[in-house]
Structure 1
């Protein structure tokens, strides 16, 4: 397994779950330079939630699910269950989801349990149709083009994922 393929699956996991939860995927790419919000990274997926309040637990949960969907997609593709808190390339996802989770519950232990339960549910759902075929198709497109714009992502996801 090469890093590019793993990254394509990882970013596609973010995109498919974000889309399934009502977001719009503005863009995806196989590389990501450091910016004001994120460090340099292997890939990038920009999910736009539209005009919603980020201060509701429902929105926080959607964001946590979308963030953790990247590592879960990669776990499924690899056939390995690694923990995002201890596996280096996923630690940023884990920490970002954890910061949001602490806004739901101020207790770090409950936050960890929440995130681990989300990972279990994502793992269960993402292996099934239509999620896994959508992830695989989107990963193929991303690997082929290295960057996808909103229209390209919407075309693939619109085929697989009914809203």
Structure 2
């Protein structure tokens, strides 16, 4: 696999080796030994799957305490996947990075603990799969405002009607977030 560092320390773009021919393709999306060899000693406890229509924005979610690391990939459709650094001690606190994940490019995005995470679906019937390092704990879940001007995420929303859940529409500003150490 090929690992690409982002402009913020921690999140990684992972390009798995894809073996394809006229029948289709095969790729390994998780191998504890290969990830450990790449310096990613990760233990997962939960797998999630979401399907969304074009324009659905899910995020920017995080749990504090009980943060989750996530290995995210798209198996149908496409998303613009985003993380925001919520580690107060980090020189990149409050900064974001984003990547397009799609069934076509087969890239994965490693979202370490200490980051808010979210995505905007770019196609109808987009399926997102992600592995988590900690279980979902609704009592600790929070949402950073997806459109907080202090963060300034550049969502590719031209021509897209953004659809939010009530929880995501009520996300808090970065100044009011219960950040990580």
TM-score range, shorter chain: under 0.3
TM-score, length basis structure 2: 0.26
Task: Name which one, 1 or 2, has greater alpha-carbon Rg.
Answer: 2
- Name whichever structure is richer in helix by fraction: 1
TM-score (norm 1): 0.28
